[in-house]
Structure 1
Amino acid sequence: MDVDYRGTDFVWLKLSVEETVKDLHYLIRRNNEDRFTGQFSGRDTLITDTSLTPGTEYYYTVYGIKNSEPVDSGDTVPVTTLPLSSHDFHWEIDTLGEYGSMLRDVFAFSENDVWVVGEIITNVHTGDKSNAAHWDGTKWELHKIDLNPPMYYILGFSQDDLWMVSGIPHHWDGMNWSKYHLWDMGVLSPNDGILTKVWGTSSTNLYFVGDKGTIVHYDGSQYRRMESGTDADLKDIDGVYDPETGQTRIWVAGSGVLLYSEGETWEVVWDFDHPFFKDNYNNPNTVWVPDRKGFIVSVWGGSNSGTYLLNQQNPHQHTSLFNHDLFSFDMHGNSINDFFIVGDWNKVYHYNGSTVRNYPELSLDGYSFGIYHFNNHVFVAGATGSSFRAVVFRGVR
C-alpha cells in the first residue's frame, strides 16, 4: 500500500497486488480502527479516505481477508495531512492606461520583477497603446511589442527568455523580440484558430493552444501543428515534467473538453458525450498542475460547478475541493492547500486547504483574467468595470 496523494482533510491510498491474484478481499485500518473493506479491482485499487484533520499524522495498515479474518498484513504506512494556509492577504490596487484598457495575464520572477500583458491604451484620442508593462517593485513601466497587438499570455524562463502570445508567438532573447506568423510560415491553415496560451518545459519544448482546437508544438527550431481531436476552443494549458521517470504530462481545458498528452499525441478524456459528472453541462474552464501526482480543474455550469483535484494517473478519481459560482479564467498557487482562482466580476478566491475566502474589496464589476501566486505574494491582472481601465491587484500575506 502506498500513499498516492494527501490533502488537508483527505488521503488517496493505492493498493497493489500481483495480476495473478484473484478474488482477494482487503481490510484497511487507520490508527488500528477498521476503515475500509472491499475486493481488489485489478492490479491497482484506489481508495480515498476523507474527513481527516489538517496537519495530523495517521497510520494505515492493509490486510488480506481469508475466511472472513484479516491475515497477511502489510507494512504500516504513516502520512501527515497538509496544514491550512492563511487567508490574510493585504491588497494594493494599481490602474494602468485610459478608457478601454485591459490586462489578460501576469507572470512574476519575484515580487520586484513582474510582467503583465494585454492592451493598455495610453491616449484614447490618438489610439496610442502598449501591450505589456513591467513592475520593478516601485513603479510600472509600459512596453510596446510588435506594433501593439493585444497580448493574451506570457511565460518566462528567465529575464532573457520570455514568450508572449497574441494569436501568434513572440519571443524575447534579451536583445530583440521575434514574432512567428504561423499562417505565413505554412504551419497553420486559414481554418485554424488563433493561439492564446502556452506551456512548456523550456524554449525548446513549448505547446501553444487556442481557438478551434488548435495546438502547436515548438522544439526550438520548428513549429508543428498537432491534431487535438477536437474543434472546441481551448482555454488553458498546464503540465509537469517528472525528472524521476522522464515523463511529461500536459492537460488542456476548453469549452466542454479536457485533453491529455504525454508530448506526442492528444487524448480527449472528458467532453459533452463523456462527462465526469451526472450532467453534461460542465465546462472545465481552467487547469493547474501543482505537482507530479494531481491536477486541479475549475468547472462551471450544471450542478457540479466547483474546483476539483484529479489524479493524473486516473482522472476519474477526483476529490471536490470546493463549490463556487465563478466563471473562472485562471488558477495558480503554491500547493493544493494554498492557491487562488479568479474570474468574472473581478472575483478573487483563495483556498487554504479547507475553506475559500473571497476578497470583496477587489470586486470592481470587471474581470480578473490572470493570476500569479508564489510564496506570500500574489498578482492579479484584469480590468475594472467601474472606470474601464486595466487593473492589477498586488497582494501580500
Structure 2
Amino acid sequence: MLLKNCYKKVLTGSLFFITLFIISISCDSTEPPPPDETKPTLTLAIDDASCTEAWLQLTTKDLTLPAELKLKQYNPSGDSVTQTFSLSTKDSLLYIDSLLPNQIYSFQVSSIEHQVSSIKQPVTTMDTTSRNFTFQSWTFGTIGSSILYDVAIINENNIWAVGEIMIADTSQNGYTTYNAVHWDGSEWELLRIPNYDYPNVLVYGALQTIFAFSENDIWFSSYSNLVHYNGNTFSSKAQFMTSINFTGQVIKLWGSDKNNIYCVGRNGAIYHYYGTNWQRIESGTTLNINDIWGDYNDKTQEWEILAVASNIYGSFDKEILQIKNASIEIINKDGIDEPLSSVWFKSNRKYYVVGSGTYEKTNLYNPIWKGDPLDLTNYFENRVRANEINDVIIVGAYGESLHFNGLTWKSFINETFLSNGTFLSVDIKNNLIVAVGYQSALAVLTVGHR
C-alpha cells in the first residue's frame, strides 16, 4: 500500500507527511484467530535510515491477518502524524520517506482492533555530507592522443589511474607508451604495467579498468588480459581472448575478493575469475556491458551484482542485468528511455543507473525507475560511485561533476569544466574524489579534496 504525499511541504512547512511503503517479508497471508486469552504483540525495530528515509522492521505475534494498523510518526517539532495501513503478513518492512536530515523521530505501530501498540522506536536520520571541495587537475601526454579510462583510490597518498599515455622521447619510435599513473603523496609517476596479448605476447598495452581491495591487492585488465598486483609484482591471471576473432573486449571490472572477480565488456561479454581459472557467462545480450557493481545483501546473505548494457552511440536499447552465480536475470527497466553507462547501489536501500539521465529506486523490484525528478544535467553521465547513500558522485561529458549530499544534488562543472573532453570514470573514498578522462588529445585527471 502506497500513500502519496507532498514532499515539498515536508521540506518547507511545519507539517510533516509520510509516504508508507510496506514490503512483505513473510509469505503468510492468513492466520487462524488466536485463542481468546492470547493478546497480540507488535514489535518495531530500526532497520536503517538515510537523510530523508527510514526502514522499520515490523514483527507481529498472534495477530489475526489481515489486520488494520496505525503508524504514528512523532516529529522533532513536537507534533505527530498518523497513517492507517492494512497488513497481510506477520513480518514486514515499512519504508517511510519525506523525513529531514540529522533529526530524531519516533515511530509506533498500533492495532485498532486489539488495542495494542509497539514500544516507540526512535530513529535518527543521517546528516548531509559536506560539499566543501577544492579541485586540482593534471594532464598527461606530449605526442599523439592520450586518455585515462579508470581510477582507484587506496588512500590520499596512493592513487592509481589507467589508460594510455604517449610521451615523446629520443627512443627509436620517438615516443614511449605508458598505461598507468600512480600518486605517492607528492608526485605522479608514469608506469608501464606488463600485460599479455593473444596468444601469449608480452606487451605494455592500454589498460581499460582497475579495481583495488588494498595496496597489496589491485586488479587491472587490458582489453583481454586480467592482471594482479600484490604490492611488489604484476602477474597475469586470465587471458580472455582465445582466438583471433575476438569481440568481447573488457570495459570494466569489479570483485568481492581476489577469488571472485567479474570483467564485463563489448557484445555482452561477462568473464568470471574464481581464483584459479575463469569462465565466460552467457549474458543473453549483444549490447556492450559498460559497468558492473556489487554489494553484500544482508537479507539474503549473498552478494548482489548488477551490470548495465547499452551501445551508447548506436541505439537507445539498454539492459540491466543481475548476475547470480553463472546465470543472468533481466531487471525491469520501465521508466528508463535512454542508454545506460553506469550503476551503483547499496543493497535494499538505493539503486542508481545513469547515462542519458539519472534513475533511482529504493527497492530493486519496484516497478518503475524514478527519472523525471533527477534530470540533473544536459550532459551525458559516464560513471556513478559513492561512499554512502548520502555521498554520491556522478561524472560525465565536458567535465560534469554532480554530488548528492543526501538531500540535494549540486553540479561542480564550473570548477571541473572540460572544454573539449569528458570524464570517463570516477572513484570516491572518504573525503577524496578522483575523476579521469581526456581533454582534447591529453589524458586528464582531476582530484577533489574535502
TM over 0.5: yes
SS in 1 for 2:112: strand
- Please name the residue that 2:5 is paired with: none
For 1:131 and 1:315, the matched residues in 2 are separated by 41
What whole-Å deviation, never above 9, does each CA across 1:58-113 have from its counterpart, x for those lacking one? 111112333xxx73222322211110111110111111113521111111111111
What whole-Å deviation, never above 9, does each CA across 1:204-260 have from its counterpart, x for those lacking one? 111111122211111111101112233322111111235796421111122221122
What amino acid sits opposite 1:267 in the alignment?
Answer: E
TM-score (norm 2): 0.76
Contact residue 52 and residue 407 of structure 2 kept, 8 A = yes
- Please name the residue that 1:341 is paired with: 394
Contact residue 354 and residue 383 of structure 2 kept, 8 A = no
Q: 2:85 aligns with which of 21, 28, 38?
A: 38
Q: 2:251 aligns with which of 196, 201, 208?
A: 196
CA-CA distance at 1:14 after TM superposition: 4.7
For 1:229 and 1:38, the matched residues in 2 are separated by 41
Q: Report matched runs for 1:8-87 at 5 Å.
A: 8-15=51-58, 22-31=65-74, 33-40=80-87, 42=89, 45-66=92-113, 71-87=115-131
What amino acid sits opposite 2:444 in the alignment?
Answer: V
What amino acid sits opposite 1:193 in the alignment?
Answer: G
Q: 2:418 aligns with which of 364, 370, 390?
A: 364
- Please name the residue that 2:22 is paired with: none
Residue 257 (structure 1) aligned with residue 301 (structure 2)? no
What amino acid sits opposite 1:333 in the alignment?
Answer: A
What amino acid sits opposite 2:109 in the alignment?
Answer: V
For 1:191 and 1:16, the matched residues in 2 are separated by 54
What amino acid sits opposite 1:51 in the alignment?
Answer: S
CA-CA distance at 1:11 after TM superposition: 2.2
SS in 2 for 1:345: coil
Q: 2:150 aligns with which of 96, 105, 128?
A: 105
Distance 1:133 1:44, change over 3 A: same
SS in 2 for 1:114: strand
Paired residues, number: 378
For 1:369 and 1:178, the matched residues in 2 are separated by 25
- Please name the residue that 2:20 is paired with: none
What amino acid sits opposite 1:339 in the alignment?
Answer: V
For 1:30 and 1:73, the matched residues in 2 are separated by 13
Distance 1:340 1:77, change over 3 A: same
Distance 1:13 1:244, change over 3 A: closer
Deviates more, 1:26-35 or 1:54-63: 26-35
- Please name the residue that 1:170 is paired with: 227
Contact residue 27 and residue 34 of structure 1 kept, 8 A = no
Q: 2:288 aligns with which of 208, 233, 253?
A: 233
For 1:367 and 1:179, the matched residues in 2 are separated by 31
Residue 219 (structure 1) aligned with residue 271 (structure 2)? no
CA-CA distance at 1:34 after TM superposition: 3.6
CA-CA distance at 1:114 after TM superposition: 0.6
Residue 281 (structure 1) aligned with residue 331 (structure 2)? no
- Which structure would you say has the larger RCO, counting Cα contacts within 8 Å and 6 or more residues apart? 1
What amino acid sits opposite 2:52 in the alignment?
Answer: D
Q: 2:358 aligns with which of 293, 306, 314?
A: 306
What amino acid sits opposite 2:134 in the alignment?
Answer: H
Q: 1:134 aligns with which of 182, 193, 196?
A: 182
For 2:340 and 2:83, the matched residues in 1 are separated by 31
Say what the alpha-carbon RMSD is for the aligned residues.
Answer: 2.8
TM-score (norm 1): 0.85
Contact residue 346 and residue 384 of structure 1 kept, 8 A = no
CA-CA distance at 1:118 after TM superposition: 0.8
For 1:19 and 1:77, the matched residues in 2 are separated by 21
Contact residue 307 and residue 324 of structure 1 kept, 8 A = no
For 2:348 and 2:431, the matched residues in 1 are separated by 24
Residue 381 (structure 1) aligned with residue 436 (structure 2)? yes
CA-CA distance at 1:264 after TM superposition: 3.9
SS in 1 for 2:117: coil
CA-CA distance at 1:177 after TM superposition: 3.1
Deviates more, 1:326-335 or 1:205-214: 326-335
For 1:316 and 1:47, the matched residues in 2 are separated by 17
What amino acid sits opposite 1:97 in the alignment?
Answer: G
Distance 1:64 1:244, change over 3 A: closer
Gaps of 5+ in 1: none
SS in 1 for 2:126: coil
For the pair shown, the structure with the greater C-alpha radius of gyration is: 2
- Please name the residue that 1:396 is paired with: 449
CA-CA distance at 1:21 after TM superposition: 5.1
For 1:40 and 1:192, the matched residues in 2 are separated by 52
Distance 1:164 1:176, change over 3 A: closer
- Please name the residue that 2:39 is paired with: none
Contact residue 67 and residue 88 of structure 2 kept, 8 A = no
For 2:146 and 2:234, the matched residues in 1 are separated by 25
